[in-house]
Amino acid sequence: MWLLDQWAERHICDAQRKGEFDNLPGVGAPIALDDDSHVAPELRSGYRLLKNAGCLPPELEQRKEAVELVDLLKGIRKDDPRHPEISRRLALIELKLRQTGMNTDFLHGEYCERLMHKMNEE
């Protein structure tokens, strides 16, 4: 054990003996840990740092942008001059998402339609 680790462990044990940890909020409650088992071990610390800073991984940023573009397209008419540019941008993002292996059915509402159809059958 490193000298710093021994020093920290000694201070923690001293604080426990003095009862300094007894009245902390959440004492006795289980710790809520983030499930990051799907993230490669060498990327976990970096992803956690980005998450704590309020940043998303690039794939999720693109997904968020794609959903915003779909909503924008729903709100404008096809003869709007912005429509072709937004459509092209959405197609590019959808292509990038598919290249990362992400399913893009959520952009077309197909999942919702299939779910509603299945619920109506039952």
Q: CA 75 → CA 58, 61, 78, 81, distances in Å?
A: 26, 21, 10, 13
* Domain boundaries of the chain, sorted by first residue: 48-122
pTM of the model: 0.51
pLDDT band, very low/low/confident/very high, at 85 (cuts 50, 70, 90)? very high
Q: What is the pLDDT of residues 16-41, one digit of tens each?
A: 999 888 888 887 788 777 777 777 88
Mean pLDDT value of segment 81-97 = 91
Contact 73, 86 (CB under 8 A): yes
